[in-house]
Amino acid sequence: MKNLELKFDKSQYQVFIGQDLLDGIGKMLLVHMKPDKVAVITDTNVNRLYGERIKKSLDAAGIQNGILTIPAGEESKSLEQLNLLYEGLLDLEITRSDVVIALGGGVVGDLAGFASATFLRGVRLIQIPTTLLSQIDSSIGGKTGLNLKKGKNLAGVYHHPVLVVMDTDLLKTLPEKEIISGLAEVVKYGAIRDPKLFSLLENVKDNAELLRYPEEMIYRCVKIKAEIVQRDERESGERMLLNFGHTIGHAIENIAGYGRYSHGEAVAIGMAVITKNSERIGLTEKGTANRLNRLLLKLGLPVSADGIGTADIIKAAAFDKKNSGDSINLVLLSKIGESMIRKMKVSDAEKFFAVGDVSEKSGPNEID
C-alpha cells in the first residue's frame, strides 16, 4: 500500500492507495476518526457491486450506517438529487459529528462532496473513489459540484475530504470504456509533469498489463495532482496545467453533443491537436506529437474528431467558463514531461489552429 499526506491552508488528510482496502474500511475509520454514524452515498451500479461489502465492514466495526443510492450517470449531479440526499441524511439523523462516505466515481464524489459540504454547514467527508478517473483526479483537490440546466459544474464549493481510500481492486469491475477514458488523464499527467510515467505507459504491452498492478501509476498521478493543487488551491495559476487538452476537449464534448465522445476521448483529441499545432510553430520539441499520438492510439484513444472544424472549436473554447474576455489560456507541452501556460488572444488562437484541422485523419499510418 502507498500513502500520501496532503496539506492545505485549513485541512490536511491522508490518501491510501492499495489492494483489498474496502473490507477494512470499518477498522480504518475506528483508527482515524471513530464516528458514531456513517452515511454512505453511492450509485446504483456501485451499490450492486460493493454496497453489501462496505456495510458488512462498518457493521463489524460497530459503526451505525445507512446507504443512500443515486441513479448511476451524469444526470444525477442535479439539484433534484441533492435535495433527495439532504432528505436521506435527515432520515438517517446524521449530525455534524458523523461522517459521509462517497463510494463511487466522480459523479458520486462531486454530489456527495457538495451535499456533505453544505448539509448542516459541513459534515466530514471520506472519498472512496471507484473509477480510474475518480482515483487519479476528482477525489483529490477538494472541488465538488453539480450541474445546472445551463451547463456542467456551474454550482460548487471547495470541501476537502478528511480521508481518501483508493482500493485498486475495485477497478477490476470497471467497464473497459471507463478505463480507457481515465487513461487519457493518466497520459495528461505524464505529458505535463512526469516523463517516467509517460514511459511506463509506453512500455506496457496493453491495457490489461497496465491494470494488473495499477498502484504505481495511480500513485504517480495522485502525487502530481496533489503537488499542483497544494501549491494552487484555488486555480489561479499552476493548477491550470491540469487543463492540458481540456479547453479543446470541452469544446469537442460540447459541439459533438455530450455522450458522443467520453470525457477522456475528448481530452485525448484536445492533447493531440494542441501538441501538433504547438510543435508546428516551434514551441514544442520535435517528435513530441508523434510520441503522444502513438501512445494515445495504443491505449485505445482517438487523436482526431470527425466532422469538427477549427472554427467550431475556437468558438466553443472561447466560451469555456475557464476562459475570460477575448483571450484563452492554452496549456502546451515544451516536451514530454514539461508544460507551460500560454494566454492567447482568440484571434491568435485562430491562426494557431489554422493548419491541421481537428477532423483531419491521422491514423497510425501517419506516425513516423
Binding positions for ligand NAD, rule: CB under 6 A? 43, 45-46, 49, 72-74, 77, 104-108, 110, 130-131, 133-134, 137-138, 141, 143, 152-153, 170, 173-174, 178
CB 316 within 8 A of CB 250: yes
Which residue lies nearer to ligand NAD by CB, 130 or 323? 130
Active site annotation includes 159: no
Residue tagged active-site, from 178, 185, 253, 265: 185
Which residue lies nearer to ligand NAD by CB, 180 or 314? 180
Which residue lies nearer to ligand NAD by CB, 258 or 287? 258
HEC string of 152-183 equals: EEEECCECCCCEEEEEHHHHHHCCHHHHHHHH
Residue tagged active-site, from 74, 202, 235, 285: 235
Residue tagged active-site, from 143, 188, 193, 276: 143
Active site annotation includes 48: no
The closest alpha carbon to 264, from 177, 336, 351, 160, belongs to 177
CB of 310 to ligand NAD, least distance (A): 26
Q: If you search the block for the grid coordinates 516523463, which residue do you land on?
A: 195
How far is Cα 282 from Cα 267, in angstroms, rounded to an integer?
22
CB of 180 to ligand NAD, least distance (A): 11
Residues 6 or more apart whose Cβ sits within 8 Å of residue 115: 41, 82, 85, 86, 89, 100
Residue tagged active-site, from 147, 246, 265, 293: 246
Amino acid at 272: A
CB of 214 to ligand NAD, least distance (A): 12
Active site annotation includes 176: no
Which residue lies nearer to ligand NAD by CB, 73 or 287? 73
Active site annotation includes 239: yes
Active site annotation includes 263: yes
Which residue lies nearer to ligand NAD by CB, 167 or 312? 167
CB atoms within 10 A of CB 243: 22
Helix extents (H) in the chain? 25-32, 44-46, 52-60, 79-91, 106-118, 132-133, 176-193, 195-203, 207-212, 215-231, 246-256, 263-280, 288-299, 310-318, 346-352
Which residue lies nearer to ligand NAD by CB, 170 or 248? 170
How far is Cα 285 from Cα 84, in angstroms, rounded to an integer?
51
CB of 130 to ligand NAD, least distance (A): 3
Residue tagged active-site, from 225, 233, 253, 277: 225
Active site annotation includes 193: no
Residue tagged active-site, from 7, 10, 121, 212: 121
CB of 99 to ligand NAD, least distance (A): 19
Cell numbers that stand for 359 in this block: 477532423
Which residue lies nearer to ligand NAD by CB, 327 or 329? 329
How many residues are given for the chain?
Answer: 368
Active site annotation includes 235: yes
Residue tagged active-site, from 45, 47, 147, 243: 243
CB 1 within 8 A of CB 21: yes
CB of 172 to ligand NAD, least distance (A): 8
Amino acid at 344: M
Active site annotation includes 121: yes
Active site annotation includes 27: no
Cell numbers that stand for 226 in this block: 496533489
CB of 147 to ligand NAD, least distance (A): 8
Rounded to the nearest 10 degrees, what angle do helices 288-299 and 176-193 cross at?
Answer: 160
Nearest residue to ligand NAD, using CB?
Answer: 106
- Active-site annotation, residues: 121, 143, 185, 225, 235, 239, 243, 246, 250, 263
